Amino acid sequence: MRLFHILKKYTLRDLLPFTVSELFEQFDLILSSLIFRLKSHWHGVSLGRACRIWGCVKIRRFPGSEIIIGDHFYLVNRAGRYAFNIFSQTLIRTYTSTARIEIGEGVGANSMAIFCRSQKIRIGSRTLIGGNCQIMDSDGHPLWPLSTRWHYPGTEHDAPVEIGDDVYIGLNVVVLKGTRIGSGSVIAAGSIVSGEIPPNCLAAGVPARVIRRFDVVN
């Protein structure tokens, strides 16, 4: 009955391209998820159940380091499925044996980069991450003096990143080393986050600052 209603409401000219696109997306989901699972196994990543992946994911795990991804991980890297993806791929990488990346259960993300050099980066369960976000535990190159800028500093300058449960991170957000984002908080699009953001608040800006508390009754 529902099929008859759809055929009556829309023309074949409308239905055919839409149906083909839907079938392609389902094929892409099955193939990309399988490839991601095989890549995870090859690189020694601990991957939970029922991951759903669209598009390319690059994994680089340094020997001895850990990458742990929880159940029901949902990741979109196809510009056709998510219009705001500038770079339609995700990179998850560790750089030394002490690095550890933990992604909790039910995390949903679009194209992103996670760079963990020597510390721990943890993303809590049910957190949502918008497209083109970057999360890092290191500055990479030193800022000063100029003579050292082309050399990597020691890992003593790195700092862990903690993102709580149920956090919402908007488009084009950069999460710098040493950041702690409390559970339930929202980071507005385009923000650069450094330091501590308390739970249940809205933070925005460069650098991000709390502009609203959700748990306070006005």
Residues annotated as catalytic (active site), given as ranges: 141
CA–CA gap between residue 218 and residue 207 (Å, rounded): 26
Task: Give the three-state DSSP class for 213.
Answer: strand
Nearest to 75 by CA among 59, 62, 63, 61: 59
- 35 CB-near residues (< 8 Å, 6+ apart): 53
Nearest to 164 by CA among 113, 209, 122: 122
Listing DSSP states for 20-42 in one string gives HHHHHHHHHHHHHHHHHHHHHHH
What separation in angstroms does the CA of 127 have from each of 49, 162, 174?
Answer: 17, 12, 15
Nearest to 34 by CA among 5, 12, 55, 17: 55
Burial class (CB in 10 A: 0-12, 13-18, 19+), 122: middle
Contact 155, 139 (CB under 8 A): no
CA–CA gap between residue 129 and residue 167 (Å, rounded): 8
